[in-house]
Structure formats: structure tokens, C-alpha cells
């Protein structure tokens, strides 16, 4: 006969788990819970999400400008050319 303080034997419970298995399951559950809490914290931190989005957009703009450096240079050259022509025409009319 067994007493209430005796641990259950595998003979009585064929699907009984060992103490190590239970501890491993508890540790896995703790890890999963910690990851879930971290994910929820990230989602609720609006300030950090806005900063991250702004940084992402800034990087996209810089990358786009680096892919097409000729466009700003062409615009600048056009402005310089038009300004030079306007100054030249005004001086020519005066003199």
C-alpha cells in the first residue's frame, strides 16, 4: 500500500512525465511568455515605432538620391545656365 506522500509511479500512470520533463516544459513556457511580452511591449511603444519608421523613410530617400545623382546635378546645371543667360541678356540690353 502507498502513502499519500509517495510519488506516483510510472506503473500507475503510463503517461506520467518525469520531473525533468516538467521543468523543461515550464522553462519553454517561460521563454515563450517572455517573447510574447517583448513583442507586445514593442507594439505598444508608439514613440519608438514612429522613430523607427522615420529612420526607415530617411534611409529610403537617401538610397533613392544615391541611385539617381544625375537628376539633382542636371537641375542645378539648368538653373545655373538659365541664370547666366538672364544676366547676359540684361547686360547686353544695357550696354
H or E stretch at 72: helix 70-94
Say if residue 8's pLDDT is above 80.
no
Say if residue 79's pLDDT is above 70.
yes
CA distances from 47 to 25, 44, 55, 64 (A): 36, 9, 12, 26
The model's pTM is 0.38
Residue 92 binned pLDDT confidence (cut-offs 50, 70, 90): confident
Average per-residue pLDDT for the chain: 83
Amino acid at each position: 500500500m502507498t502513502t499519500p506522500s509517495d510519488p506516483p509511479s510510472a506503473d500507475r500512470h503510463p503517461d506520467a512525465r518525469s520531473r525533468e520533463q516538467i521543468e523543461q516544459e515550464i522553462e519553454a513556457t517561460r521563454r515563450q511568455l517572455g517573447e510574447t511580452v517583448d513583442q507586445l511591449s514593442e507594439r505598444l511603444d508608439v514613440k519608438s515605432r514612429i522613430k523607427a519608421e522615420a529612420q526607415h523613410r530617411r534611409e529610403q530617400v537617401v538610397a533613392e538620391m544615391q541611385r539617381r545623382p544625375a537628376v539633382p546635378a542636371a537641375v542645378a546645371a539648368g538653373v545655373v545656365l538659365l541664370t547666366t543667360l538672364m544676366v547676359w541678356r540684361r547686360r547686353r540690353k544695357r550696354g
